[in-house]
Amino acid sequence: MEAKEATRGTDRVIIFDTTLRDGEQAPGAAMTVPEKVQIAHQLARLGVDVIEAGFPISSPGQADAVRRIATEVDGPVIAGLARAVRGDIESAAEALRGGRKTRIHTFIATSDIHLAAKFGDARYGRDIAEKQRTVLKMAVDAVRLARTFTDDVEFSAEDAGRTDIGFLAEIIDATVEAGATTINIPDTTGYCVPLEYGAMFAAVRNRCALPDEVVLSTHCHDDLGLAVANSIAGVLAGARQVECTLNGIGERAGNASLEEIAMILQVRADRFGLKTGIDSRLLNPTSRLVSTFSGFAVQPNKAIVGRNAFSHEAGIHQDGVLKARETYEIMRAEDVGQTVEAIRLGRHSGRHGLFSRLKRLGIQVPDSEREAVYRRFERLADQKKEISDSDLHHLVDAPVTGGDVPHFKLESASVSVGTHQEPEAHVRMRHMRTERMVEGTGTGDGPIDALYRAIDHAVEERHDLVNYSIRSVTEGADALGEVSVLIDMGGPCFAGRSSGTDVVLASGEAYVSALNALAAFRAEEESVRFVGDSIMRAFDTPED
């Protein structure tokens, strides 16, 4: 449904997914452009109405992600974020150019606290009242400018949750008058409680002259654990768009979780009488994809998509569920894409077994990727006795980093550790273009540190490791470990990921995939001199 078709009176709630923008703002959740495009396609299959694909002015990578998603992903409206300034709006419009259904989402801070801090300079006004005039004018100008590029414009009053209601109503009236078609009322700091947040929507509806086609939107952060409850309170008070993220990832404690909002409205349709366009069976696969690419594990007891969300441990519960599911279950695992599977998959399973299980899990593998997926399955089946559904999700979601053709490949790695011995590592790496092999050795504070020093030695360049995380993505002693790293070279950070049953090797591969992302970035930026002087030199110069 087009956002402009919605009215406050309808029973349809627009799901505005901001996993790729606010979600990605979570520290350490950086995703590559190909990963974002893959998630956006999955969000379209899931049935979200709007995808906020990024904040184009903030970096070339963000602009590129918005550009690619706007032109490649069919179905949802694609939104780009912009502060209420000309440069941001033009940059969002440029990134969205060529998209079929696009929205510019512009925002400016409205609370006294923000006005005093962000617009402290006297040129914005000498006191809060004057600063409010300036901000109101900036908001109106921004919306008018945005409307010259698209007729779908959203305005957000940042920190609305702590904004004076009189000024909030005034800026909403003014931006609607200027052409805003969606008005978002964010609880930017996660400060509100549900009664208050709902009351703010009721007050806005009372005070403002809102045409029916203007959609009110919630946008809640989870600092007090109330993001979902607040969003629902907003909906009860007339909001018909909810801004949310998969797995609730986002700034600080995160955003309202999409899967929880969707299932509250679905399971309690008796109470709310509202609908979304979400295909709930795809919630779990989508959650896993986001978890893999963001590197943020989903806690086992997470509502809807947690591993334990549908397992019954206590005997009395198991007994009850066996007699009648609804004794302890308010929704079925299958309804949210969690499957309990009787057939075991292992090294003897063929293509048919694999792809029919994937189909039941709601995972579509394009024909062009089936062979590669099957080969990954065979490799994993050689390492694990039994392949679980989590393994399969992981197998299919295997991250794409560092461009299509990697620059480097880790051929072998060995690490030795001992009680009275400094950890030592040795690696052999191949430069894929020249086929040259180089070797490196390193010692470090621990085995992973030693391994990374050995890789740096091999590529003749030292990298700062900003973040290293490892998590078990499947169960058992032979569980798959997934490693995410973030490296820094004094400019943008580069993410790398890998997984395997051998976590030391997976750690090495994750680091090399981050180096590949860095090398691809440099190649793209045509930093040939820089590349030649550093990493590439290690491989390109002929041997004496």
Q: Which residues bind ligand KIV (CB under 6 A)?
A: 22, 107, 156, 158, 184, 186, 188, 219, 221
Q: Which residues contact 37 (CB under 8 A, 6 or more apart)?
A: 65, 68, 69, 72, 73
Nearer to ligand KIV, 75 or 186 (CB): 186
Give the count of residues interacting with Zn ion (CB under 5 A): 1
Q: Is 153 helix (H, G, I), strand (E, B) or coil?
A: strand
Nearer to Zn ion, 22 or 397 (CB): 22
- Please state the closest distance from residue 93 (CB atom) to ligand KIV, in A: 17
- Please state the closest distance from residue 72 (CB atom) to ligand KIV, in A: 24
Q: Which residues contact 300 (CB under 8 A, 6 or more apart)?
A: 306, 307, 308
- Please state the closest distance from residue 277 (CB atom) to ligand KIV, in A: 22
Give the amino acid at 490. Answer: G
Q: How far is CA 428 from CA 230, 251, 425, 456, 485, in A?
A: 53, 39, 10, 12, 20
Residues 525, 544: Cα–Cα separation, whole Å: 31
Could you tell me which stretch among 17-25, 124-132, 146-154, 505-513 binds Zn ion (CB under 5 A)?
Answer: 17-25
- Please state the closest distance from residue 37 (CB atom) to Zn ion, in A: 22
- Please state the closest distance from residue 217 (CB atom) to ligand KIV, in A: 9
41 binding partner (options ligand KIV, Zn ion, none; Cβ < 5 to 8 Å by kind):
none
Nearer to ligand KIV, 156 or 292 (CB): 156
- Please state the closest distance from residue 81 (CB atom) to ligand KIV, in A: 6
Give the amino acid at 194. Answer: P
Give the pair of three-digit tokens for residue 63: 């602009």
Nearer to Zn ion, 19 or 474 (CB): 19
Residues 278, 256: Cα–Cα separation, whole Å: 16
- Please state the closest distance from residue 495 (CB atom) to Zn ion, in A: 22
Nearest CA to 521 among 480, 482, 491, 479?
Answer: 491
Residues 144, 153: Cα–Cα separation, whole Å: 9
Nearer to ligand KIV, 91 or 188 (CB): 188
Nearer to Zn ion, 256 or 358 (CB): 256
496 binding partner (options Zn ion, ligand KIV, none; Cβ < 5 to 8 Å by kind):
none
Could you tell me which stretch among 22-30, 58-66, 347-355, 403-411 binds Zn ion (CB under 5 A)?
Answer: 22-30
Catalogue the long-range contacts made by 423-426 (C-beta closer than 8 Å, 24 or more residues apart).
423/447, 423/449, 423/450, 424/450, 425/450, 425/451, 425/453, 425/454, 426/454
Q: Can you give the C-alpha Rg of the chain in angstroms? A: 25
Query: In a 10 Å sphere around its CB, with 0-12 CB exposed, 13-18 middle and 19+ buried, how is residue 314 labelled?
Result: exposed
Nearest CA to 78 among 102, 56, 57?
Answer: 102
90 binding partner (options Zn ion, ligand KIV, none; Cβ < 5 to 8 Å by kind):
none
- Please state the closest distance from residue 243 (CB atom) to ligand KIV, in A: 7
24 binds Zn ion (CB under 5 A): no
456 binding partner (options Zn ion, ligand KIV, none; Cβ < 5 to 8 Å by kind):
none
22 binds Zn ion (CB under 5 A): yes
156 binding partner (options Zn ion, ligand KIV, none; Cβ < 5 to 8 Å by kind):
ligand KIV
35 binds Zn ion (CB under 5 A): no
Q: Are strands 215-220 and 77-83 parallel, antiparallel or unpaired?
A: unpaired
Nearer to ligand KIV, 175 or 388 (CB): 175
- Please state the closest distance from residue 258 (CB atom) to ligand KIV, in A: 15
49 binds Zn ion (CB under 5 A): no
The residue ranges that bind Zn ion (CB under 5 A) are 22
